């Protein structure tokens, strides 16, 4: 029972928005399928922190969910900035149940147990110069959701491990509200996605202020989920 992670699958099996037009993304769906089947067993867990499907609603995203559900392992899904199909946790779980997507789970204001660890997370947010007031409101909401997730794991006697879509640190920019939550609860591991292409040259992939940040965007990982079992 190993635990893997990979973000930013950007599946588009139900809509015409292929990622193959971008450098490094050729045959990415086939590569994902092959890597899952080669590395992941049915009793393993895969955490997928955001940008899962390009579908703008559940109907458009359904073929992507069917594809994910057909792959080995239990998949824990977190919202990304492009996951427009996202609904309430209750609605998503009902939709998965109705369609027999029995390997898919939603991480939203909650946690999932993996041994002595609690899998926690949220979308997160990014500090932007435009719309400062609106961004601040969203950022504080995401920080609160992260704290809720972490506290739910702690209350179950588990050690929290955090997965985010947005990076809390990127180049010389810091998301202090999210970082404050991570430090308050002494989080040591934080996995994140969102960063693609040449922007990955400026991504943080290592220890900063006592937290080990790991970039897990699909193109950065060459579409192979990484086994983090021994890193927790």
Q: How distant, in Å, are the alpha carbons of 110, 120, 141, 169, 179 from that of 209? A: 26, 20, 24, 11, 10
Q: Residue ranges of the alpha helices (H) in 156-187?
A: 176-184
pTM: 0.96
Q: How distant, in Å, are the alpha carbons of 125, 200, 216 from that of 220? A: 20, 8, 6
Q: Look at the chain and count its residues.
A: 232
Q: Give 10-residue mean pLDDT values along the chain (232 residues).
A: 97 91 89 98 98 98 98 98 97 98 98 98 78 72 98 98 96 92 98 96 95 98 97 89
pLDDT at 62: 98
Token pair for 126:
């990014």
Query: Which residues lie below 8 Å from residue 140, measured CB to CB, with a gap of 6+?
Result: 177
d(CA 4, CA 227): 4
Structural domains in the chain, sorted by start: 3-231 (3.60.21.10)
pLDDT at 129: 52
pLDDT at 24: 86
Buried b (16+ CB within 10 A) or exposed e, 104-125: bbbbbebbbebeebbbbbbbbb
Q: Which has the closest alpha carbon to 8: 138, 113, 163?
A: 163
Token pair for 215:
């970039």
Q: Tell me: the pLDDT tens digits for 157-198?
A: 999 999 999 999 998 889 999 999 999 999 999 999 999 999
């Amino acid at each position: 029972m190993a635990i893997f992670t990979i973000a930013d699958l950007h599946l588009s099996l139900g809509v015409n928005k292929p990622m193959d037009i971008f450098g490094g993304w050729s045959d990415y769906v086939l590569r994902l399928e092959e890597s899952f089947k080669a590395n992941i067993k049915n009793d393993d867990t895969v955490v997928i922190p955001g940008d899962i499907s390009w579908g703008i609603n559940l109907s458009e995203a359904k073929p992507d969910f069917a594809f994910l559900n057909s792959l080995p392992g239990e998949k824990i899904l977190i919202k990304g900035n492009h996951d427009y199909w996202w609904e309430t946790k209750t609605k998503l779980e009902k939709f998965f149940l109705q369609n027999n997507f029995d390997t898919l789970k939603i991480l939203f204001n909650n946690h999932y147990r993996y041994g002595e660890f609690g899998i926690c997370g949220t979308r997160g947010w990014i500090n932007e110069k435009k719309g400062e007031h609106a961004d601040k409101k969203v950022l504080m909401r995401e920080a609160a959701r992260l704290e809720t997730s972490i506290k739910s794991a702690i209350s179950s006697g588990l050690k929290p491990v955090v997965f985010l879509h947005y990076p809390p640190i990127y180049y010389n920019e810091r998301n202090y509200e999210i970082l404050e939550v991570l430090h308050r609860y002494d989080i040591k591991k934080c996995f994140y996605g969102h960063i693609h292409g040449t922007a990955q040259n400026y991504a943080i992939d290592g220890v900063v202020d006592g937290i080990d940040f790991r970039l897990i965007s699909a193109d950065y990982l060459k579409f192979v989920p990484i086994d983090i079992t021994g890193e927790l």
